[in-house]
Amino acid sequence: VNMVVAGHVHAYERSFPQYSGRVDPRWQRELESSAPKIGKDEPPYTGAALGGLQPRENKIAATTETSRDEVDMELKLMVPSWPTYITVGDGGNREGHANEWDQNFPEFTAYRDGANYGY
């Protein structure tokens, strides 16, 4: 796992890496193979890191990096080469805790959890 952010009550969403607003084509195979087995209500990974694969200019380096990226994808882990964005919910809303998600998940959503409290 590349990063862990811990808090008290918060929502969690895991998403697949994106490119131009769509699931990165290099992850499409992972999306198609994991979605039918686990659904949207179970975590698909033992580790989680968000970020895109950085394009390589050098052809020799690209071959090496592509192989490494494929291995990392098989392990369900990836070292992000672009910024990692983390969304943290608010445990102190006067409206209370949001226990339900909109069921129209976008294509890039891998896992959501807004109903678990504490550790």
Domain boundaries, the chain: 12-98
Cα 14 to the chain's mean position, in Å?
4
| Averaged pLDDT score across all residues of the chain | 55
Tell me, what amino acid is at 50? Answer: L
The whole-model pTM stands at: 0.27
The C-alpha angle 90, 23, 48, rounded to 5 degrees, equals: 50
* Residues 75-102: tens digit of each pLDDT: 444 455 555 555 555 555 566 666 666 6
Instruction: With cut-offs at 50, 70 and 90, classify the pLDDT of residue 8.
Output: low
The C-alpha angle 13, 14, 19, rounded to 5 degrees, equals: 120
Q: Which of 6, 9, 7, 5 is nearest to 92 (CA)?
A: 9
Indicate the pairing of strand 22-23 with strand 12-15: unpaired
